Each structure stands twice: as C-alpha cells, then as structure tokens.
Amino acid sequence: MKPKISLGEDMFPPFSGFPREGVQFLKQLKKNNKREWFNKHKEEFEEYVKLPMQSLIASLKQPMAHDMPEILVDPKKSMFRIYRDTRFSKNKDPYKTHVAAVFHMTAHWQNSAGYYIHIEPSGVYAGGGIYSPDPDRLKRIRQSIADEPKQFLTIVSNETFVKRFKKLEGEKLQRVPLGFPKDHMMAEWLKYKSFYTGVEWDVEECYSPRFVSRIVRTYKELSPLVRFLNGSVGA
C-alpha cells in the first residue's frame, strides 16, 4: 500500500497518474449532463475524478513550494467545483465536463496572477497568467508594460518562452487603449485584455506519474510572467 501525503488533517494518496476511469466518467457526463445521472454515479466521480485531482494537487505542493513559495497549493481550495453556475448562462447544463484547479498567491487569493491545470477527454491544458482582470488591475498591468518595456519584452521574447508558449492568449482591443499614445512602442502588448498562455497536451500525458514534473516545469517557465503581473498589480 502506498503511503499517503499528509497536508495538515487531510491525507491523500500519492499521484500515480489520473485514472482512465476518470476520463471515461467525464466522457459519460458530457452525454448525460443531468442531475439524476450524476447523483446515480456520484461515487465514481468521488473515486475516479475528485480524489485523483486532489492527489495531483497535493503532489504539486512540495515542488511548487520550492520554486514558487508565494503560491497557495491546496487540494480543497485550489480545485474548481464540478458544478456550473448557470444563473447568467444560456447553457443550463448543471455540471462541467472537465476537472480543473487554479493556484494563486497565498496573500492575494483570486486577486493575483497564477497557474492553471485543466483535464478533459480531449486533452490537457497547463498555463499561467491573469484572465480578464478588473479595470483597475488591467490599467496597472498596462502601465507597468509601458513603464518597463525592456523587462516585459525580456520575458515574452525569451527564446525558451517563445518556443514553449508561442504567444500570449486572450482577447485584444482593436485600438491602443486610452491614455497611451497610438504609436507607443508597446502598443500591441497594451491592447491585451488578458495576459496568459499555456501548453496543450494529449490526454495520455495525465495518466503517468510524470505528469506532476511536466506541470511544475511549465509553471517554472511561466513564473517570470506571473511575477511581473503580480508586481504590476501590487500583489
């Protein structure tokens, strides 16, 4: 029997790979996105999806603490709930058909840039940055980019960064935002409304225990961007 990882009062088995049964459950959930079906199969969700994801998060805690000590990694707090918020959505399906977790700064939970992991039957996504910051934080990030162009470009134009992530993702404005000259040297970067990027892998990647080290490596390569963003918003 494998020893469990202790995090305070919680105990989680070491991550040995996300189970194929968990991915199969998510496939079936996509076809049967109804409360009746989910309630009938809830034990499968707990065993093959929720617990393995919490074990993955627990296994990320120590290596991330070494390189990103400011980031909170918590199997309960970091994992997104499977339940969708349908109040303002035309899609009334009650459940997400993926499992995901997010890691923000301990001192500024949800008000900082951070890291993300997402598993679904069609593949895996690991990334980092900040998605749709509020107007005040967005203004601060843009101002930092304008004030520190060399520092920002050193991050996003780094050979390793470009090779791994290609470019930033997210929506952009068509015009340079108000408050900045139209011919500003950082004009294209100032148009971004979100600042994040990541990598996509085949779902087979998550079945291996090596999945943990692949995630950590990706986060380490993203850490200069995440720290620049957090410095910009005062986190």
Q: Would you say residue 3 lies in a domain?
A: no
Average pLDDT over residues 82-92: 87
How many domains is the chain partitioned into structurally?
1
Rounded-to-5 percentages of helix, strand, coil across the chain? 45, 15, 35
pLDDT at 1 over 60: no
Encode pLDDT of 26-73 as tens digits: 999 999 999 999 999 999 999 999 999 999 999 999 999 999 999 999
- CATH classification at residue 116: 3.30.930.20
Q: Would you say residue 144 lies in a domain?
A: yes
Question: Cβ(222)–Cβ(127) under 8 Å?
Answer: yes
What was the pLDDT predicted at 107? Answer: 77
Q: How confident is the model at residue 124 (pLDDT cuts 50, 70, 90)?
A: very high
Instruction: Tell me the sheet residues that pair with 102.
Output: 116
Q: Would you say residue 1 lies in a domain?
A: no
pLDDT at 9 over 70: no
Torsion-angle region of 34 (φ positive above 0: left; ψ -120 to 50: alpha; else: beta) = beta
Q: How many CA atoms, within 13 angstroms, populate the side-chain half-sphere of residue 118?
A: 14
What was the pLDDT predicted at 3? Answer: 53
Q: Would you say residue 215 lies in a domain?
A: yes
pLDDT at 173 over 90: yes
Q: Would you say residue 2 lies in a domain?
A: no
- Which range marks the domain in which residue 116 is found? 8-232
Q: Is the pTM of this model over 0.85?
A: yes
In the chain, % of residues over pLDDT 90: 86
